[in-house]
Structure 1
Amino acid sequence: MEQTVTYNKAPLVELIVEVQWPVATIGTTGGPPIVGGQSAAFDLWFQRLTERLRAQGFHNLERLVPHDMFLLAHQPLYRYSLAEDRFPIVQLGHGIFTVNAGPPNYRSWAALRPQVEKAFAALVDTKPTDEPPTTFSRVALRYIDLFDTELRAGASNYAFIRDDLGISIGLPDGLIELASDAGRIYPTLAVQLPIDGDQNANMTFQVAAGRLGNRSSTDTVMDMSYVVSGNIPVATAAVLAPLDAAHTAIHSWFEKLTSNIRDRMDPIRQA
């Protein structure tokens, strides 16, 4: 049996599973996608979903958008969370549903997947019959990682990205020598790749020096997203299949990129 490797000092900040579907909007071209009117079907969906998620332990419910504000398409409106932990959380909005996970209780995709499956089964099963959406338009998996000073072994962000992650950021001859301090070079790289064998899928890889949340330090942030677009059936299995493919691709990239610092992340091998 193949062993699963997890890490005691994993750099993960947050994992986001997301589906989107089309929503009728009003407004001008280029303006914010304001949801057109109040949908009784959405309200019924929300009420049914809330009951199902409570049965799964998501007893905390928070409204993220004030009642006197416009509602935007593909913006989370409600957030469900467990009573005792920050993660996982589930979010619902007009045209969007997410499952978010992260430390300290995220260990692996294999361990999280059953909870993701249950959450999406709840979403699909509680959708009012004969009401939109008829298909999902987007399924995505996103991992956000942060490499702090310990994981960088004291190296600058520029040196860590270049030497440990093995990402070469080419600059014209003589330009790098203009820097007074190489440790204060803040690189940014973003690449979008079409996925071989699936014309509806692409992967976005971003790495940069930056800050997340309330952290005072500037660290290396790595952001990987795998997105499948198209007419995706409103069915749990139809969502899980691209998510599994997404995880395989992202995990493969992560393992290759971090091969030089594996010992620093303190690996644990599980059967």
Structure 2
Amino acid sequence: MSDSKARTASRLPTTIDTSVAHEARVYDYWLGGRDNYPADRALGDAIAAHVPAIREMARANRAFLARAVRFAIAELGVTQFLDIGTGIPTAGNTHEIAQRIDPAARVVYVDNDPIVLAHARALMASTDEGATAFVHADLHDPAAILAEPVLTETLDLDRPVALMLVAVLMYFRDEDDPHGILARLLDALPSGSCLVITHPTADFDARAMKNVVLASEQAGITFYPRSRAETENLFAGTEILDPGVVPVVTWRPDLADDAAATTATDPESAWYWAGIGRKP
């Protein structure tokens, strides 16, 4: 085993510990899923006590993912997706949206949570023309992700890829070097690839977000909100595309596929910044 893979293996949990909260299962709880446990629901409720609209915010973030996939295919011509921190499968997964538009679209999912691994079969459902795959790996070790044979078996890295990091980077403090991680991943992708990010922020309500951070850290989960400028800095090495880094509900609402998804009109109704950058 290489040093890189050894580091990843030591990081990756192999069993599901239901006694402690996990970010993927808390998110699943907010989205109304069933793959969560008392510790996850307790943290989800503690955060909701400070941010009563957190469930709507989670849904707004999920709706952005769908719009971003549509944008990548229809306006950038990108039909390959590397979705890191995918979370527990729910309605409207990346491959479902992409292959509905282009049946030949190809998707690789990456997550470090063993409960997501348990659901990998659902994530690997695919059209006959396209392909999907799952990699059990940790974003802290991008070299290990890139070294996985299934990644290059599924994606053609000579063609543009959409690197999806939707509601993931808040689990990385600056000392975890998220900029270096992003640079390593982008270096492996060709010109014309794009970087898709959403990121929670304290810009809209600093006091409430401070309480979210405390509740998360008391449960053993790193939670690091970033400002608009800090989120823009995560796009280093790419050209941020219109409309820029904006509140998640205001990012290209015209790409929503149903009227209900466009009902949010208050830019501050969901405390996430969102954007897409394109690699020159």
| Higher relative contact order structure (alpha carbons within 8 Å, sequence separation ≥ 6) | 1
TM-score under structure 2 length normalisation: 0.28
Q: Which has the larger radius of gyration?
A: 1
TM-score between both structures, scaled by the size of structure 1: 0.28
Higher helix share: 2
Name whichever structure is richer in strand by fraction.
1
